[in-house]
Amino acid sequence: EVQLVESGGGLVQPGGSLRLSCAASGFTFSEYDMNWVRQERGESLEWVSTLETTGVTHYAASVEGRFTVSRDDAKKSFYLQMNSLRAGDTAVYYCARKVPGDGHGMDGWGQGTTVTVS
Amino acid sequence: DIQMTQSPSSVSASVGDRVTITCRASQDISIWLVWYQQKPGKAPERLIYASSSLQSGVPSRFSGSGSGTDFTLTISSLQPEDFASYYCQQAIRFPVTFGGGTKVEI
């Protein structure tokens, strides 16, 4: 069974930093692109970042230069380093996996971790 | 960026009703459209990918269609467990973009 478990969320002051983690199990982690998607309360989903299996990264314009994604395939873990946090970054953050190269979207999601910037 | 526009933003329907949700892309995305279902307090789950391919385990009352810029998610006979929000996502290029969502109320 595919499992993705996020952790690291919490309350942080504006301008502060936070590191989110996503622990994967139940699948061959190294074979999947990994993504962060966030959702403000009551709002739609917002893509944040993708880290491909090749190491190529993609970021939303709203987080470019402030957020950094990384992965440790040996630990089957995926990370989001968030710096210079703003109130607008307050959201539930989900990690999600995606098969590389296809246009089939994200087929496995974690339960989310809440980040509050205040 | 590719803008994704969903309509309606909410729909109230009865058990057994046919419900249709539309998603329009601001440019041609071929068939690279994904639908997700999200129940309150839960993570999204993929329902349909490549416009019309049903995710394994998803009931056959869900179907998707469309190509280019116009897409449709149909629930043929609404069930109580279908109370949820539904989101479309274009999967052709970065930045990944989602529609604004449709809340289906029973």
- What's the pLDDT band for A28 if we cut at 50, 70, 90? very high
Phi, psi for residue B31 in degrees, rounded to 5: -105, 10
CA separation for the pair A41, A4 (Å, rounded): 21
Phi, psi for residue B102 in degrees, rounded to 5: -130, 125
Residue A102 is predicted with a pLDDT of 81
CB atoms B96 and A50 under 8 Å: yes
- What's the pLDDT band for A86 if we cut at 50, 70, 90? very high
Chain A contacts to B (CB-CB under 8 A) = 35, 37, 44-47, 50, 58, 60-61, 94, 96, 102-107, 109-112
Residue A74 is predicted with a pLDDT of 97
Which of A44, A63, A95 should one mutate to test binding to chain B, selecting the residue with the greatest count of B CBs within 10 A? A44
CB atoms A45 and B53 under 8 Å: no
CA separation for the pair A42, A40 (Å, rounded): 6
**Residue of chain B whose alpha carbon sits nearest to that of A6:** B43
Tell me the pLDDT tens digit for each residue of B25-35.
Answer: 999 999 999 99
What is the average pLDDT across A25-49?
97
Residue A32 is predicted with a pLDDT of 97
Phi, psi for residue A63 in degrees, rounded to 5: -120, -10
Q: What would the DSSP string read from start to end of B8-51?
A: -SEEE--TT--EEEEEEESS--TT-EEEEEE-TTS--EEEEETT
Which of B46, B52, B92 should one mutate to test binding to chain A, selecting the residue with the greatest count of A CBs within 10 A? B46
Chain A hits for B36, Cβ within 8 Å: 45, 105
A101 pLDDT more than 90: no
CB atoms A60 and B99 under 8 Å: no
pLDDT in tens, chain B (106 residues): 999 999 999 999 999 999 999 999 999 999 999 999 999 999 999 999 999 999 999 999 999 999 999 999 999 999 999 999 999 999 999 999 999 999 999 8
- What's the pLDDT band for A113 if we cut at 50, 70, 90? very high
Residue B4 is predicted with a pLDDT of 98
CA separation for the pair B25, B89 (Å, rounded): 9
